Structure 1
Amino acid sequence: MRVCGLMSGTSLDGLDIAIVDFSYEQSTLQHALIGFTTKPYDEVLRKKLHALMDPRTSVQEVSSMNMYLGELFATYVIEALEELEIPIDTVDVISSHGQTIWHEPSVDVADVYARPNTLQIGDIAVIAERTGRTVIGDFRTRDMAVGGQGAPLVPYADKLLFQSTTGRVLVNIGGIANLTVLPPIHSTESIIAYDTGPGNMIIDACILRHSNGQVTFDENGEIARSGKVQNAWLSDLLQHSYFKAPIPKSTGRELFGEAYVKEFWYEGDAYNCTSADKIATATMFTASSITSEILKYRDTHDVQEVIVSGGGAHNSTLMAMIQQLLPSDIRLITSAEAGINADAKEAFVFALLGYLGIQKTPNSLPEATGARKETIMGKIAWGHSKAESGV
């Protein structure tokens, strides 16, 4: 089965598109990434999506953008397949994560109407109609329906693809960073997975302020490298309540978004930080919050290797900081070195979740999300019938 996986993350930088062929041979999953590209969002769309994450946004704006993103995702898929010279009629399924604009796994229990909730937009019916392909999406709500946090979902694939004879930690650094701790194959220890906290989100927001909106990310960590980490401030930052919360847990812009960054930026002034110092400290904040979690499992899970994917894998300053904080006997590599394109990984994962979901195969990992049981995640919008497609 050929699946086109779509991922639009909390960094709001664009739509990742991965085309993957899946099959089973002797009960073993076989996969081949045959194409990958990213379709960047323009600055106007990025700002509109960012504005949608404000709870004061009108329902009309959210509903309209849901349909618009469905159209845009379909257009991007068609363009990407043409550029990659992959005929669209060879794609069996499109699997879309959607664009998260709200994720609230914990709510006020005193409110009788409040429920854990999540919202990803980019309507799958629109994608199906515009492309003619069957589309599966809206994965997170099914996990929440059985008591899970709806996140993280990537650990299911991490277990399938990366578990080995030695302990490994998979780290994805997008807007938010998350990890999957994989014990050795024959270990009695459980797989552990959760969001560690900010990934690129605070760094990117600081770069926007530093550049007056002209630059969206710290390419190769060059600005962070030119600044100095303010260690006293860093210690205060690491006291955030999220880091003390029990697992499983997940987070997003609700905690580390615009309101947090605004306060962060002015706090830096109190420590006499330059803009570069603030960006250096934000980068070390991400590195420290990730590595402190990894080290909790060093002995119990025999961790010998840390594999990084996502945009953060390209930030050499961030990677150097993580390596600096890890013991010398733990190897740090990117997922590309482990056989999966570091940029394509999340889109690849959602292609996999879609592949399993369309075949009515459980595709969740309860130990990662806190769900009561495994489920088959994903809602389906069927593609055109043969009559409609003219076949």
Structure 2
Amino acid sequence: MRAIAEIARCDPRRVVGLISGTSADGIDAALVEITGAGLEARLRLLAGLTHPLPAADREELFRMFDPTTATVDRLTRFNFRLGELFAEAALAVIAKAGASAGDVHLIGSHGQTVWHIPAPDGATLQIGEAAVIAERTGLPVIADFRVADMAAGGGGAPLAAYFDLVVFRHPERSRASQNIGGIGNVTYLPAGCGPDDILAFDTGPGNMLIDAAVAALTGGRELFDRDGAMASRGRVDAAWLEDLLADPYLKQAPPKTTGREVYGRPFAARLLGEARRRRLGPDDTVATISAFTADSIVRAYRDFLIPRGGLDEVVVAGGGSYNRFLRDRIAAGLGAPVRQSEDYGVDGKLKEAMFFALMASDAVAGLATNVPRATGASGPRVLGKFVPGPRPA
């Protein structure tokens, strides 16, 4: 076993970050070399990949999202099964980098959120057993990052605010770092900002509703709208879009967080039913649902961000950052340039995996990685639980 103090003395540290996000389309894994710590940390991506979930496991995962099918015995078993898959992802990304587990100091695993209850009655559950990951890889694991923030009265999200502050803050330009995963979340970084100056929250739906619509309308042949092609061919139903934008969550002031509990399969099924009632074809349906995601982001900025100090540019990451329809509609709505995170050296598909590597690295250094202004917690907290692993030879 390698003690925390020993890992903390290593600089740079090589850390694997792991996450299966709200889209539940695979396990993102990133091997990152991290030099320094805290706001002065510098990250270099050594390798990254998305480890696919076998079809049977993905179906079982979606059963875990439904309280009527997520029985205690099934959830317990699948927690361990998902730990095996996370371990496979970690070993795969290490091998892709041409390294061995002995070259790596630590793993930071977010796991897979199956249920999240926002504050004030906050609670959350992520699965993908960290002890299994540690045993299979031989490496120590930091996991379960959200609960310490929630125990301190925070929402447990968005945690990306810390990574965004480290990587994207600028002395002269005000930026919004927008992740478009299953759910959309933003970190507003005013020019020259520190931790007490930023604002971060979940903007609303990201790809989750779009993906569900595409899968249903193509009979499962497609699982997402590649490059926004369907939406670009379609025509937005403006009247229905206005109804969608009256969604209560969008009017709620930050700090706030949301997830599959609000915008999951039941919500998507209602949208598809309404599209049929309106006699919309597949492309028009996807266009309108995509416009809902894009315009919810634009309205969030207008209502909560721009009044705080203007906006010079938007940096987008996540699967939705590759959807041209979303990027173009957000840019048109804001009148500001929208750039992909790759322009700043961050792979948009791997951003979340990279930030859990950073959070694990800073956890062993004893540094707080929540941003109370973003989450609503009563103060800074060191996030994550430590699981030692037998050190690989």
Contact 1:189 1:300 in 2 (8 A): no
- Which of 177, 185, 194 is the matching residue for 2:184? 177
- Which of 130, 140, 143 is the matching residue for 2:146? 140
Question: Match for residue 28 of structure 1?
Answer: 40
Contact 2:119 2:153 in 1 (8 A): no
1:16–1:27: structure 2 CA closer, same or farther, 3 Å change rule? closer
For residues 342-385 of structure 1, give each alpha carbon's deviation from its aligned partner in whole angstroms, at most 9, with x where no partner exists. Answer: 11111111100010012211111001101010100000101215
- Which of 41, 51, 64 is the matching residue for 1:39? 51
Percent of aligned positions that are identical: 39
The code of the aligned residue for 1:377 comes to L
Deviation for aligned residue 1:294: 1.7
- Which of 362, 366, 371 is the matching residue for 2:372? 366
Q: Give 3-state SS (helix, strand or coil) of 1:2's partner.
A: strand
Deviation for aligned residue 1:270: 2.5
2: CA distance, partners of 1:76 / 1:4: 10
Deviation for aligned residue 1:78: 1.4
1:106–1:26: structure 2 CA closer, same or farther, 3 Å change rule? closer
Contact 2:112 2:126 in 1 (8 A): yes
1:169–1:27: structure 2 CA closer, same or farther, 3 Å change rule? closer
**How is 1:23-172 mapped onto 2 (pairs within 5 angstroms)?**
23-24=35-36, 28-56=40-68, 57-106=70-119, 115-164=121-170, 165-172=172-179
Shifted more, 243-252 versus 347-356: the winner is: 243-252
- Which of 250, 255, 259 is the matching residue for 1:248? 255
Query: Which sections of structure 1, spanning at least 5 residues, go unmatched?
Result: 108-114
Q: Give 3-state SS (helix, strand or coil) of 2:349's partner.
A: coil
The code of the aligned residue for 2:133 comes to I
Aligned pairs, number: 378
For residues 274-330 of structure 1, give each alpha carbon's deviation from its aligned partner in whole angstroms, at most 9, with x where no partner exists. Answer: 121110001000000001112232242231010000000111111111122121xx2
1:245–1:15: structure 2 CA closer, same or farther, 3 Å change rule? same
2: CA distance, partners of 1:375 / 1:106: 17
TM-score w.r.t. length of structure 1? 0.93
The code of the aligned residue for 2:152 comes to V
For residues 31-62 of structure 1, give each alpha carbon's deviation from its aligned partner in whole angstroms, at most 9, with x where no partner exists. Answer: 21111111122322222111111112201111
Query: Which sections of structure 2, spanning at least 5 residues, go unmatched?
Result: 1-12
User: In the alignment, does 2:281 pair up with 1:269?
Assistant: no
For residues 208-233 of structure 1, give each alpha carbon's deviation from its aligned partner in whole angstroms, at most 9, with x where no partner exists. Answer: 11011222111111111111100000
Question: Match for residue 339 of structure 1?
Answer: 345
For residues 253-274 of structure 1, give each alpha carbon's deviation from its aligned partner in whole angstroms, at most 9, with x where no partner exists. Answer: 1100111011111111232211
Shifted more, 337-346 versus 230-239: the winner is: 337-346
2: CA distance, partners of 1:230 / 1:7: 35
The code of the aligned residue for 2:143 comes to G
Question: Match for residue 381 of structure 1?
Answer: 387
For residues 145-181 of structure 1, give each alpha carbon's deviation from its aligned partner in whole angstroms, at most 9, with x where no partner exists. Answer: 0000000000011111111122100000000000001
User: In the alignment, does 2:332 pair up with 1:324?
Assistant: yes
2: CA distance, partners of 1:14 / 1:283: 22
Deviation for aligned residue 1:186: 5.7
- Which of 291, 294, 301 is the matching residue for 2:309? 301
TM-score w.r.t. length of structure 2? 0.93
Q: Give 3-state SS (helix, strand or coil) of 1:65's partner.
A: helix
Question: Match for residue 16 of structure 2?
Answer: 4
Q: Give 3-state SS (helix, strand or coil) of 2:85's partner.
A: helix
Question: Match for residue 206 of structure 2?
Answer: 199
**How is 1:14-25 mapped onto 2 (pairs within 5 angstroms)?**
14-24=26-36
1:221–1:21: structure 2 CA closer, same or farther, 3 Å change rule? same
1: CA distance, partners of 2:272 / 2:221: 17
